[in-house]
Amino acid sequence: MKSKLYGVNLGGWLLLEKWMTPTLFQGTSADDEFQFMYTNGSTDRLENHRRSFITEDDYRWLADNGINAVRIPVGYWVLGGDAPYADGSRYLDWAFVMAKKYRLSVIIDVHGLPGSQNGFDHSGRKGNALWFDEKYYRTQSLMALERIAKRYGDHPNLWGIQVINEPKVAIFHFKLRQYYRAAYKLLAGILPTGVRIIFSDAFSPRLMNGAMKQTTHRSVMDVHFYHMATLFAHSRTLDWFFQKTIRRKKLIQRLSKTQEIIIGEWSGIVNQEKLNGLSLPEQYKLFQEYVALQLSVYEAATGWFYFNYKTEKPGVWNFRSQIEAGNIKL
């Protein structure tokens, strides 16, 4: 397996996100996986989705199109379930079989934590970020990490385990830092030394730089760059977007002196306001240039993972559709 990771996220598969697969949620009022699992026929529908959304054809396509790694978002319940959530172990097992067959590195990203670490649907349950309020939830998270590490730690294609995804933004994050220390100690006692332990920058890469001290195992900071979500982005010019992206290279290089950096999520999307008034060919051209620039900048990191590999419909969040349309060139 190559040292530089060129990857995609397999989001919307083992942890549902309604906007990716709206047909799955059709006929329900559910907004997240927690609510979905209380709807009629949810178990059968979920099983069919897991079986059909990602298949061997997808792994073959990735290997044929220059991708050598996948980041797989999962809920803490993936091994064993936790009502109403359903066990997904056989699909994660199968993902490793495919990864070995097509020579892909794997990051298991614990995307949804007990109580929710951010209150968004992609944590499994919308609402309050109760993960920070109850020590029990953080203990549950460590137990989930332990199960994952013991089951997949020795697999030759496991590149790393990510202990949390996108926790809510804060300044000091004492509880999060404490969790990072506990997670590192736990995983370092189970995993082979070549497997990385990955933590989130909580959208504050400068503040969280070095938050997970490394001794026996490499720690990796996961940074997500969604420039359209930047404060006051709606009022910025297109040139500002491009210049900000260029400056990211120096930031990545500086952060990399402390630990490895991966760009765990990014895409070619810009604010809709920036597209107003542009013809369709002009929008395609802008997307192509913006993606090409990001690909160049992210070479400074250990690897990158486009979000997402696929969605129900083609578009900027659907990496496969953009490759096939010629808008992304690796």
Domains of the chain and any CATH numbers: 5-223+257-267+302-309 (3.20.20.80)
Helical pair 89-101 and 135-152, crossing angle rounded to 10 deg = 40
Tell me what pLDDT residue 2 has. Answer: 53
- The reported pLDDT for the residue numbered 277 is 82
195 has a pLDDT exceeding 90: yes
Query: What's the whole-number average pLDDT of the chain?
Result: 95
Alpha-helical (H) ranges within the chain are 22-25, 33-36, 42-53, 56-64, 89-101, 135-152, 174-188, 205-208, 238-255, 272-275, 280-297, 319-324
Q: Which residue carries 């940074």 as its tokens?
A: 223
- pLDDT digit string, tens, across residues 266-282: 999 887 777 778 898 99
pLDDT at 56 over 60: yes
User: Does the pLDDT at position 1 exceed 50?
Assistant: no
Mean pLDDT over 12-35 rounds to 98
Beta bridge partners of 70: 8, 106
Above pLDDT 70, what percent of the chain? 97
> In angstroms, rounded to a whole number, what is the distance separating the alpha carbons of residues 297 and 21?
31
pTM of the model: 0.96
Alpha-carbon distance 8 to 264, whole Å?
9
pLDDT on residue 230 = 66
Per the CB < 8 A criterion, the answer to whether 160 and 126 are in contact is: no
Q: How confident is the model at residue 240 (pLDDT cuts 50, 70, 90)?
A: confident
d(CA 63, CA 83): 36
Q: Where are the alpha helices (DSSP H) in 237-328?
A: 238-255, 272-275, 280-297, 319-324
* Rounded average pLDDT over 164-189: 96
Q: Are 108 and 158 in contact (CB under 8 A)?
A: yes
Locate 233 and state its tokens: 């982005």
Q: Tell me the average pLDDT across 226-234.
A: 69
Neighbours of 240 (CB within 10 A): 15
- pLDDT score of 130: 97
Type and span of the H or E element at 112: strand 105-112
Q: Is 148 exposed, middle or buried (0-12, 13-18, 19+ CB in 10 A)?
A: buried
Give the residue-averaged pLDDT of 240-257.
94
Is 229's pLDDT higher than 70?
no
pLDDT of residue 39: 98
Per-residue pLDDT for 225 more than 50? yes
Q: How many CB atoms lie within 10 A of CB 150?
A: 12
